Structures are given as C-alpha cells and as structure tokens.
Structure 1
Amino acid sequence: MMDRKWRKGLYHEAMRDRLDREDCWGVLKGFDQCVNVILSDSFERVFSLKEPVEAVELGLYIVRGDNISVIGGVPDSIREQVLDDQTRAAPLKPLIH
C-alpha cells in the first residue's frame, strides 16, 4: 500500500533534508527498500547572514537512506520561490546523535 502511494508521486518535486543539515530539493526519480533516493534537477539552498538564499545546482543526486530525515512533496514553482527568496539566516548546524 505505501509503495503504491510512493510510486504514484514518483516524478514530482521532492524535498530532502539530510541529517548533516543540507537543504536539498529535486525531482524524485527512484528509491529502494532502504529509502536510498535518486533526485534529478536537484539543488541545495545555502543560507548566509550576509547574502540572500543561494541555490546551488547539483543535477542528478543519489542519497543514502540513512542520511535522510525528511522527504515530502513541494509545489512545482519551488525553484522560482527559492531564487526570489531574500531571506538571510545562519547556516543550519549538523544534527548530533
């Protein structure tokens, strides 16, 4: 049942928040039973106190499942929203286990 829900939304924009606190976005192209994921057209949001949010292009990105904390759907216009974002913030600190 859960697998069908995942596959139904497979080619939609997805957000992936890694435990090392990177903030990456892309199109979910595939996954496996360990939640390893493949993202295409991906980019990372880089935060700074001095500059607005920057989007760094990553392209095709493969991530191990044990490095993922959140995966979820986002609007199709997310890339434009990130590029227009004038937010300034301190970079996120790594998650400590």
Structure 2
Amino acid sequence: MLLCLQGVLKGFDQATNLILDESHERVYSTKAGVEQLVLGLYIIRGDNISVVGELDEELDSNLNLSSLRAHPLKPVGH
C-alpha cells in the first residue's frame, strides 16, 4: 500500500526511521476531493519509505483540495 503522508519532521536516524508530528494522510479520488486523515504523531520505519521531500507551505496552503481530482495511489511493486 502506498501512502502520501505529510507532517513536521521531528527526528530521524541512520536507518531513515522518521518521526513526524502534526501528520496527516492525503487520500486521492477521481470522484471526490482529496480527503485528509489526521494522524498526529507518527513513526515510520525506514524500510517503508520511498521518497522524502520538503513541502512549500505557501504553495500547499493555496491548493483547493476539495476540487482536486486524481487517481488513488497504486501499490509499489518490488
């Protein structure tokens, strides 16, 4: 399963384990707008991470997520 998580990076280690605060998951749909599920403090094991990046908060705050449509994210194949 592929998740799109966003949050404030609070910590990490040499195995790329991450600690995210104020985190939420964005769930995409072709029929409804983007749904945001609040997760709060979240710990992610490094071997489950594929991409980490910095978010432009100003650009992100200007998005109208209720009108955004996209196909749900597909699972990653190994």
Give the TM-score category using the shorter length. 0.7 to 0.9
TM-score, structure 1 as length reference = 0.72
Q: Using the TM superposition, give the Cα deviation of residue 54 of structure 1 relative to its aligned residue in structure 2, in angstroms.
A: 1.2
Residue in 1 aligned with 2:18?
A: 37
Q: More strand per residue: 1 or 2?
A: 1
Number of residue pairs matched?
76
TM-score, structure 2 as length reference = 0.87
Task: Describe the SS at the equivalent of 1:25.
Answer: strand
Residue in 1 aligned with 2:5?
A: 24
Task: Describe the SS at the equivalent of 2:53.
Answer: strand
Stretches of structure 2 that go unaligned for 5 or more consecutive residues are none
Q: More helix per residue: 1 or 2?
A: 1
Give aligned-pair identity as a percent: 51
Segments of 4+ in structure 1 off by > 4 A? none
Stretches of structure 1 that go unaligned for 5 or more consecutive residues are 1-19
